[in-house]
Amino acid sequence: MRTYTRTALVAAGAFVLALTTACSTNDPDTITGANAGAVVLEDGWAKATDTDMSGVFGTIRNPGESDLHLTGVSGEVGGTTELHETVPGGSGSMMREKEDGFVIPAGGELVLEPGGNHIMLMDLDQPITTGQQITITLLFDDAVEQDITVSARDFQGGEEEYIGGTHEGTNHGG
Ligand SMILES: [Cu+2]
């Protein structure tokens, strides 16, 4: 009898501990990664478009003392949001998903620009209008996330072909 009671108490204690751990992990205020939420976006913008593809650009600075690994992105505008790089290919330059993401060195920056690295928005189900505010969530390793918000502007150029994935052959602009 006595052993049974003690076991139950221990189990209950472990359950409470597990709950506490889960709560603190999900509470944004308690994320304590070395650089949690620490990047700074400068000159961020998105390309206004009436097609189903667009890009988000700007300079992401890492003022921290540790390198940050940007592993992915997600967006609220619908469709697919990916990290892309631009490489030589085809008749000029081609862009493709950067599957390993980007490392932003301590004290360094990641430049996202038309014709270079960028955040790609694909399969949009509605246009992005000039002045529209778009929020993108940056996903870092260690499950750290940070939202950035940019404003859409008119821009011509940076119309690379997209290679790979399900969008092969899609010419977005040209
Ligand atoms: Cu792209």
- Give the distance (Å) from ligand 1 centre to CA of residue 84: 5
Q: Which of 17, 119, 22 is nearest to 76 (CA)?
A: 119
pTM of the model: 0.72
Distance CA 129, CA 124 (A): 12
pLDDT at 171 over 80: no
Q: Each residue of 142-153: pLDDT tens digit?
A: 889 999 999 999
- Give the distance (Å) from ligand 1 centre to CA of residue 46: 12
SS3 category, 102: strand
Please report, rounded to a whole number, the percentage of residues in the chain having pLDDT higher than 70.
Answer: 68
pLDDT for 164: 55
Distance CA 51, CA 47 (A): 11
- Give the distance (Å) from ligand 1 centre to CA of residue 25: 33
pLDDT at 18 over 60: no
- Give the distance (Å) from ligand 1 centre to CA of residue 76: 17
* Higher local confidence (pLDDT), 160 or 58: 58
pLDDT for 38: 83
- Give the distance (Å) from ligand 1 centre to CA of residue 18: 41
Q: Each residue of 60-113: pLDDT tens digit?
A: 999 999 999 999 999 988 899 999 999 998 778 899 999 999 999 999 999 999
- Give the distance (Å) from ligand 1 centre to CA of residue 33: 30
pLDDT for 7: 45
pLDDT for 62: 96
Residue 22 has which token pair? 């889960």
